Chain A
Amino acid sequence: MIEFESVSKVYDGQRPALSNVTFKLAPGEMAFLTGHSGAGKSTLLRLLLGLEKASQGAVRVAGTDLASLNGEKLARYRRRVGVVFQDPNLEEDLTVFDNVALPLRIAGFKEADIPKRVNAALSRVDLSDQAMTSPRVLSGGQQQRVGIARAIVHRPALVVADEPTGNLDPELSARVMRMFTQFQQLGVTILVATHERAVVESLPFRHLTIERGRLVSDDVGASR
Chain B
Amino acid sequence: MRWLLDHQSAFSEAMKRTRDRMTQFIVVICLLGVLLAIPGWLGQIWLGMASLVPSDAVQSEALVFLERDLDLESRIDLERSLEDQAVIDAITFIPKSEALDALSASDGLSQMTVLRDDNPLPDALRVRFSFVGDEAGEAAVIDGLRSDQRVMSLRYYPSARVQYASLVEMLGLLGLGLSMLTILGVLMAVFLVSAADVVDDRRRIELYTLLGASNGFIKRPYLYRATLLGLLSGLVACVVIFGLNTVLSSVLASNLEALDPELGSIPMDGRILITVAVVAIVASWIGAERAVHRRLHALH
Task: Enumerate chain A interface residues (CB-CB to B < 8 A).
Answer: 49, 51, 71-72, 74-81, 83, 89, 91, 93, 102-103, 105-108, 150
Q: A89-B207, A108-B2 are in contact. Are A75 and B212 (CB under 8 A)?
A: yes
Q: A105-B9, A106-B208 are in contact. Are A93 and B16 (CB under 8 A)?
A: yes
| Sample of 17 more A-B contacts, CB < 8 Å, known A51-B300, A93-B16 | A74-B300, A75-B209, A75-B212, A77-B212, A78-B209, A78-B210, A79-B211, A83-B210, A89-B207, A91-B207, A93-B17, A102-B211, A103-B211, A103-B212, A106-B208, A106-B212, A106-B217
Query: By the criterion CB–CB under 8 Å, are B212 and A76 in contact?
Result: yes
Q: A89-B203, A91-B204, A91-B207 are in contact. Are A106 and B17 (CB under 8 A)?
A: no
Query: By the criterion CB–CB under 8 Å, are A75 and B213 in contact?
Result: yes
Which residues of the other chain, A, contact B206 by a CB distance below 8 angstroms?
89
Instruction: List 9 A-B residue pairs with CB atoms under 8 Å apart, sorted by A's residue number.
Output: A51-B210, A72-B214, A75-B215, A78-B212, A89-B203, A89-B207, A93-B17, A103-B212, A108-B2
The listed residue with most A CB atoms (<10 A of its CB), out of B17, B207, B211, B213, is: B211
Query: By the criterion CB–CB under 8 Å, are A93 and B212 in contact?
Result: no
Query: By the criterion CB–CB under 8 Å, are A78 and B17 in contact?
Result: no
Which residues of the other chain, A, contact B213 by a CB distance below 8 angstroms?
75, 106
Q: A93-B16, A105-B9, A106-B208 are in contact. Are A75 and B203 (CB under 8 A)?
A: no
Distance, CA A102 to CA B211, complexed state (A): 8
Distance, CA A108 to CA B1, complexed state (A): 12
Distance, CA A75 to CA B205, complexed state (A): 13
Which residues of the other chain, A, contact B211 by a CB distance below 8 angstroms?
78-79, 83, 102-103, 106, 150
Query: By the criterion CB–CB under 8 Å, are B9 and A75 in contact?
Result: no
Query: By the criterion CB–CB under 8 Å, are A79 and B212 in contact?
Result: yes
Closest A residue to B206 by CB, please name it.
A89
Distance, CA A72 to CA B213, complexed state (A): 9
Which residues of the other chain, B, contact A71 by a CB distance below 8 angstroms?
214-215
Distance, CA A182 to CA B65, complexed state (A): 109
Nearest CB on A from B118, distance (A): 95
Which residues of the other chain, B, contact A89 by a CB distance below 8 angstroms?
203, 206-207
Nearest CB on B from A160, distance (A): 10
The listed residue with most A CB atoms (<10 A of its CB), out of B17, B217, B300, is: B300
Closest B residue to A93 by CB, please name it.
B20
Query: By the criterion CB–CB under 8 Å, are B210 and A49 in contact?
Result: yes
A-B complex: 10 closest residue pairs judged by Cβ atoms: A79-B212, A78-B212, A106-B213, A75-B214, A75-B212, A103-B211, A83-B210, A89-B207, A106-B211, A93-B20
Which residues of the other chain, A, contact B214 by a CB distance below 8 angstroms?
71-72, 75
Which residues of the other chain, B, contact A49 by a CB distance below 8 angstroms?
210
The answer to whether the Cβ of B299 comes within 8 Å of any Cβ in the partner chain is: yes
